[in-house]
Amino acid sequence: MTDVLGVLVIARNGDRTEYYQDPKTYESSYTESTALGAAESHQLGSFLRSTYMSSSSPSYIADMKTDLVDTHEVHVHAKAGGEGTVIFDSAIALLQGLFPPNPANKIVLANETTVVAPLGGYQYVPIETVEPGNDKSLEPWTDCPAFEQHISNVYSSSEFKKTAKAAEPFYGAVRDYVFGRPTTLENAWNIHDYISTELSHNKTYAHRLPPTLVEQARGFADFHENAVFSDKDVGGIGNLAGRTILHTVLSSLQRIAFNGDPLQFLLIETSYQPFISLFHMLEMVKESPEIAGIPNYASALAFELRRGPAPEDRDFIRIKFKNGTNGDFETYHAFGHKSDIAATEFIYRIENYAITSQKQWAAACSSGLDDDWLHIGSQNAISSTVFAILAAVFLLGMFVLSKFVKSARAKAQNTRIRLADDEVSQSNPPQSQYPNYGTLSNVGPGIAPF
């Protein structure tokens, strides 16, 4: 009997076309998915299925429905900003591998006709897209002045300048293969992304590119992104990508641990930045410095919630990372532990660094915003405050409309056309002049008929 109670998986998107990011602000360009990217994500989904949904696996989640998806047990979040379209496509492909078509996905109609879902029983798993305009949990670094200042500080640091000096021969050699793109260490992400994308998709380019250039480009890009999306201080602005996603990680693990909550599998499909920050925040890079950099396409970081061995009654967290489509999960340890960490300790040591609301994000970014109606990682970003405001506006509109209607009726009364020989007197005739139409026999005194 397995001791895995549930798992949270953070997955990176699969292959795509070239993706430009501004070196100073990280504002980005449009990009599209490729068939290779879909295949990579599908392969990751199949791997996760064999790991957590196969009864022969040591990480099998025993109480989870594995043939037909139960949407109470499985939740999926997908980043919508930046590479959003690619990330959503990757989530779809991953879910196709995680819950493949099943002929049992069918319905029997009242006339006893059996209808199987399309494509041999395709399973439609709901995906909640995380829009950065409403929820900053998966893309907090854009429109963040403090993060832009952090980037500037990285570029002006002595370590960055030293590395930039060492990189000059490489950027001189690669200039003829990037066609006008700035060949500087500040632009390391875009240089590497262009070279690696062309190397995968352009046969002519692949034949002409000299050996080792793509490896060197990757090395400098790793250095660049690792410096930008990390911080010496766990709660520093450089770790912003990890601090905002952390709220979803912790709250989901708490939900999985609670027996009354059906959640057992949460997938967060996103880009590479949170991986880097979390590796530093959890001190995983101290034990394994080789993971300090950009994770490959279709990488996965898993937080398994496990029941401790008897007579232990506590829950523990095991962290696993799979870098790309090759190989298996490898286990990593947080905060210098040599084994799984108690869930209570894990939460205690990291929860104070999580950013849980728009107000906290604005304070960290020094953006001057003070609205607290957008909650990081929440299912419903709009709070009751917004509904109260909308209700007030609606009631005010109804009040104004009623005044207008009364005014219009009064004006119509005063301008009514009178027929010839009209004997209608003043607007307020004595009571005796009103015709008497009688009374209802079954209505007693003091009760008005309706």
- How do the pLDDT tens digits run along the chain, 450 residues long? 458 999 999 999 999 999 999 999 999 999 999 999 999 999 999 999 999 999 999 999 999 999 999 999 999 999 999 998 999 999 999 999 999 999 999 999 999 999 999 999 999 999 999 999 899 999 999 999 999 999 999 999 999 999 999 999 999 999 999 999 999 999 999 999 999 999 999 999 999 999 999 999 999 999 999 999 999 999 999 999 999 999 999 999 999 999 899 999 999 999 999 999 999 999 999 999 999 999 999 999 999 999 988 777 899 999 999 999 999 999 999 999 999 999 999 999 999 999 999 999 999 998 654 444 355 664 444 343 444 455 555 556 555 555 554 555 545 444 443 434 443 334 444 444 444 433 333 334 343 333
pLDDT attached to residue 387 = 42
CA 296 – CA 188 distance, rounded (Å): 16
Q: What are phi and psi of 203, to 5 degrees?
A: -60, -45
Q: What is the pLDDT of residue 404?
A: 54
pLDDT of residue 180: 96
